[in-house]
Chain A
Amino acid sequence: MVDTQRKLLLGNLACVHGAIYAGMRFFAGYPITPSTEVAEGCSRELPRIGGRFIQMEDEIGSIGAVVGASVSGVKAMTATSGPGYSLMVENIGYAYMTETPCVIINVQRGGPSTGLPTKGSQSDTMQARWGPHGDYTAIAVAPSTVGDTVTETIRAFNLAERFRTPVTILLDEVISHQREMISLPKPGEHQVVDRVKPTASPEEFEPFAHTAGGVSPMPAYGEGYRYVITGLTHDAMGFTTNRPDEIKLKLDKLRNKILNFKSEITKLRIEMMDDAEIAFVSYGSVSRAVLLAVALARKAGVKVGMIQLYTVWPFPDEELRDYLVGCHKVIVPELNMGQVVREVGRILPPDTEIHSLLRYDGEILTPMQLLEKLEEVM
């Protein structure tokens, strides 16, 4: 029996399948290598399922349209690369402040500036955390294969809807522009989360109230709840405020709604860590090379393991500490000049040796390079 779900799929199109599976029905974007195929895929698929695709005049317009669509009640996303993400950060910040669910795919390329449009990179990782100005708590996920690009896109939407927040998907050109044989998820195979609707009457409804679950219900337009959404700091009613207590309440909410439920957000892949004395901590496409390197090293009797971060932000401080308690050496391979290695250094006890393995010449880190580094640090 032919498995109809098996498909040879381009990484960029895996985002489209994952998003549609998660209920995305609105895409607004702007062409930029290496993410353009996501837009092209949406322009083909969405009309067939009653969805909407629009190519806006620039990336700022794109994220604006996405937030507008989401606020009106439709799951929405955009896809871009470094230069586009840089243009989008103000409106992503608006989505943080107004707690508007949306997904922004950043297919990273060499930076800064125009950089290396056709080369993979992970140099926008910190931007996914600190891009917009001001204080907020970001969520960013990082697939490493075409297969988990589908599942991570679904998860990104679920997190966006659950926590009423933008979620950045950190892809890179390596994954986006390769094709792999994968099995597309069947309907019902993955849970799909939708934003909570209010039960209070429109008269009593407080659109930005502080609830136990951290997140206030979010009605769609046309459902009788005509509330105020503004980028100005606001109170539980959404009205602008300059009162210190209300300002602190709002900013605490933006943080606590995420950090108090970190267990629902953190996702790690743990390989061969039980007796590991040395560990690789990686994320994104580099993790594939790490997996092979660790397997080869184990064959040679080296007690090494791998922790792959599917959720990069918020950084999984507690879980990493627990898993790394037995390891006195940690290697952090990245396609940038050292970003997540800073976080690893921040959370580990001072006596742990932390080694960076960096590649930022446009090529990808190979298993051989990882093994050489492993030998070097042993």
Chain B
Amino acid sequence: MTTAEKTKAAPRQRSDVILNYLRPKKKFPNVWCAGCGNGIVMSAIVRAIDKLALSKDEVAMVSGIGCSSRMPIYLDFNALHTTHGRALPFATGIKFAQPHMKVIVITGDGDALAIGGNHFIHACRRNIDITAILVNNYIYGMTGGQGSPTTPTAAFSTTTPYGNAEKHFDPCKLAEAAGASYVARATVYHAPQLEKAIMQAVDHRGFSLVEVISNCHTYFGRLNRLGDAVSMLKEYKEKSVTVARAKRMSPEELKDKHVIGTLYEDDKTEFCDEYQKIVDAQMGEK
């Protein structure tokens, strides 16, 4: 069944579905700042997993270090909160050793693209069946607002007090070029589209990236005078264009726009499947 068919087949979801997935005995509310996009991402992930009817036991949620990486601890899946930048290799170990697991990595712009950059491009190249949800808030939130590989040129952060002199990555282009077989982008304003993208990513057989543009009004917003959570969400609404509309826009028009939706998809073979053929052949020969 395609993901779309699965969505239709799934029973109508209740508004309090997330409460069934919160980790028992864990104290709430979560640690994130009031209005932080991470909470929106977390509930979108849960709704997507619920609609795909995955069992909690088969889901492994792996994260690195950073604000968004605190997420797995709150959810009733197999939670692995690893070291900074290294979620993808840990996740590779889980997926490759136990291919029946659905492995979801929660990572941030600093965690995945700075210290974790080498693992990021190789996980894409390998096309291992892992879904990476990269919560891009354009800054290092956990450590207090430093510039990250996605901080725009000239933007302010606690380590770019005179404006960022560096250029930044487009994580989606980077992932596609490195070999990822599903790439999508959404923003925390577009929660329903985010949920759909996560469903497609998790359901997709191969390395899937979902970049989620998320508000860090505490640091990126404040240091760049972008207002509070609500004004940043509204900015995402104004500045986002769908893939279809973006095709009809010039590069100049697209300059500071967020192109959201499924950006790239192919069905190249997946790493664990390929290796399994080798195992089957070798064990058959013995």
Write the residues of chain A forming the contact surface with B, with a CB cutoff of 8 angstroms. Answer: 25-26, 28, 47-52, 54, 56-58, 60-62, 64-74, 76, 90-91, 94, 203, 220-224, 226-232, 237, 239-240
In the bound complex, residues from chain B placing their C-beta under 8 Å from that of A231 are: 81-83
In the bound complex, residues from chain A placing their C-beta under 8 Å from that of B79 are: 226-230
**Contacts A49-B283, A50-B279, A65-B92; A94 near B82 (Cβ below 8 A):** yes
Known: A90-B83, A240-B73. 5 other contacts (CB 8 A): A57-B122, A68-B94, A73-B97, A221-B94, A222-B57
- Are A68 and B92 neighbours in the complex by a CB distance under 8 Å? yes
In the bound complex, what is the Cα–Cα distance between A47 and B118 (angstroms)?
Answer: 27
Residue B152, interface by CB 8 Å: no
SS class of chain B's interface: helix, strand, loop or mixed?
A: helix
Residue B96, interface by CB 8 Å: yes
- Are B101 and A239 neighbours in the complex by a CB distance under 8 Å? no
**Contacts A50-B283, A72-B97; A64 near B89 (Cβ below 8 A):** yes
**Contacts A239-B26, A240-B73; A72 near B278 (Cβ below 8 A):** no
Between B24, B26, B58, B93, the greatest number of chain A beta carbons within 10 A of the residue's beta carbon is seen for B93
- Are A56 and B282 neighbours in the complex by a CB distance under 8 Å? no
User: Taking CB as reference atom, which chain A residue is nearest B115?
Assistant: A60
The 10 A-B residue pairs with the shortest CB-CB distance, nearest first, are A68-B93, A64-B89, A65-B93, A69-B97, A230-B81, A68-B90, A61-B89, A69-B93, A57-B122, A47-B282
- Are A68 and B283 neighbours in the complex by a CB distance under 8 Å? no
8 residue pairs bridging A and B, Cβ less than 8 Å apart: A69-B97, A70-B93, A221-B78, A222-B58, A226-B77, A228-B72, A229-B80, A231-B81
* Of the residues A66, A223, A230, contact of B93 by C-beta under 8 Å: A66
- Are A69 and B94 neighbours in the complex by a CB distance under 8 Å? yes
- Are B93 and A76 neighbours in the complex by a CB distance under 8 Å? yes
Among B57-72, those with CB < 8 Å from A are: 57-58, 60, 62, 72
In the bound complex, residues from chain A placing their C-beta under 8 Å from that of B91 are: 68
Residue B119, interface by CB 8 Å: yes
User: Taking CB as reference atom, which chain A residue is nearest B119?
Assistant: A61
In the bound complex, residues from chain B placing their C-beta under 8 Å from that of A54 are: 92, 96
Residue B169, interface by CB 8 Å: no
CB distance from A58 to the nearest CB of B (A): 6
CB distance from A329 to the nearest CB of B (A): 46
In the bound complex, residues from chain A placing their C-beta under 8 Å from that of B80 are: 68, 71, 229-230
In the bound complex, residues from chain A placing their C-beta under 8 Å from that of B278 are: 47
- Are A58 and B98 neighbours in the complex by a CB distance under 8 Å? no
User: Taking CB as reference atom, which chain A residue is nearest B96?
Assistant: A52
- Are B118 and A61 neighbours in the complex by a CB distance under 8 Å? yes
Residue B286, interface by CB 8 Å: yes
- Are B60 and A221 neighbours in the complex by a CB distance under 8 Å? yes
CB distance from B208 to the nearest CB of A (A): 18
In the bound complex, residues from chain A placing their C-beta under 8 Å from that of B283 are: 47-50
User: Taking CB as reference atom, which chain A residue is nearest B277?
Assistant: A47
Residue B86, interface by CB 8 Å: yes
In the bound complex, what is the Cα–Cα distance between A62 and B89 (angstroms)?
Answer: 7
In the bound complex, what is the Cα–Cα distance between A220 and B96 (angstroms)?
Answer: 14
- Are A221 and B119 neighbours in the complex by a CB distance under 8 Å? no
Residue B100, interface by CB 8 Å: yes
- Are A57 and B119 neighbours in the complex by a CB distance under 8 Å? yes
CB distance from B50 to the nearest CB of A (A): 15
Between A48, A51, A65, A229, the greatest number of chain B beta carbons within 10 A of the residue's beta carbon is seen for A65
- Are B89 and A226 neighbours in the complex by a CB distance under 8 Å? no
CB distance from A109 to the nearest CB of B (A): 24
Query: Per-position contact with A for B128-147: 1 when CB-CB < 8 Å, else 0?
Result: 00000000000000000000
**Contacts A57-B119, A61-B119, A228-B79; A239 near B73 (Cβ below 8 A):** yes
Residue B275, interface by CB 8 Å: yes
**Contacts A47-B279, A49-B283, A72-B101; A28 near B93 (Cβ below 8 A):** yes
- Are B92 and A56 neighbours in the complex by a CB distance under 8 Å? yes
In the bound complex, residues from chain B placing their C-beta under 8 Å from that of A228 are: 23, 72-73, 79, 81
Residue B76, interface by CB 8 Å: yes
Residue B56, interface by CB 8 Å: yes
In the bound complex, residues from chain B placing their C-beta under 8 Å from that of A61 are: 86, 88-89, 92, 118-119, 122
User: Taking CB as reference atom, which chain A residue is nearest B25?
Assistant: A237
In the bound complex, residues from chain A placing their C-beta under 8 Å from that of B58 are: 222
In the bound complex, what is the Cα–Cα distance between A62 and B122 (angstroms)?
Answer: 12
CB distance from B159 to the nearest CB of A (A): 22
User: Taking CB as reference atom, which chain B residue is nearest A232?
Assistant: B81
In the bound complex, residues from chain A placing their C-beta under 8 Å from that of B56 are: 226
User: Taking CB as reference atom, which chain A residue is nearest B55?
Assistant: A222
Between B86, B101, B122, B283, the greatest number of chain A beta carbons within 10 A of the residue's beta carbon is seen for B86
**Contacts A226-B79, A231-B83; A48 near B97 (Cβ below 8 A):** no
- Are A68 and B57 neighbours in the complex by a CB distance under 8 Å? no
User: Taking CB as reference atom, which chain B residue is nearest A228?
Assistant: B79
In the bound complex, what is the Cα–Cα distance between A240 and B70 (angstroms)?
Answer: 10
**Contacts A62-B89, A65-B90; A52 near B81 (Cβ below 8 A):** no
CB distance from A225 to the nearest CB of B (A): 9
